[in-house]
């Protein structure tokens, strides 16, 4: 049974699949100390969200399916919530082949 964490106080409320690294079931009010990063592509730009801190569980939902189930945790960050940072990459520019004047031999 895996665990999906949804960050409620972050823009676009991203979800992260943590797998089975958390005890089950989690209770409302429990805290989780974790570190992860998410990369997202939106409108041709790449954004990264790096998180290293404490999360507090505010809602717990179970999703049971034929291949097992998952625990869905809605969490909020303790302290200042992280923000998406744009990843700046230089444009890939292909230079045309160099042109030289003919050389007389």
What would the pLDDT profile of 16-69 be if each residue is shown by its tens digit? 888 777 777 888 998 988 888 889 888 888 999 998 989 999 999 888 877 677
Entry pTM: 0.70
pLDDT at 1: 65
Residue 44, CA atoms < 13 Å, CB-side half-sphere: 1
pLDDT recorded at residue 26: 83
- Closest to 73 in 3D by CA, of 9, 16, 11, 21: 16
Q: Which pLDDT tens digit goes with each residue over 91-100?
A: 788 877 777 7
String of DSSP letters for 14-35: -EEEEES-S-SS--TT-EEEEE
């Amino acid at each position: 049974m895996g665990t999906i964490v949804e960050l409620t106080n972050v823009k676009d409320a991203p979800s992260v699949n943590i797998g089975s690294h958390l005890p089950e079931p989690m209770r409302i009010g429990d805290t989780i100390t974790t570190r992860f990063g998410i990369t997202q592509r939106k409108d041709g730009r790449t954004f990264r969200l790096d998180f290293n801190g404490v999360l507090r569980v505010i809602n717990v939902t179970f999703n049971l399916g034929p291949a097992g189930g998952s625990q869905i945790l809605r969490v909020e960050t303790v302290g200042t919530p992280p923000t998406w940072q744009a990843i700046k990459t230089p444009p890939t520019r292909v230079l045309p082949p160099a042109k030289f004047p003919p050389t007389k031999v």
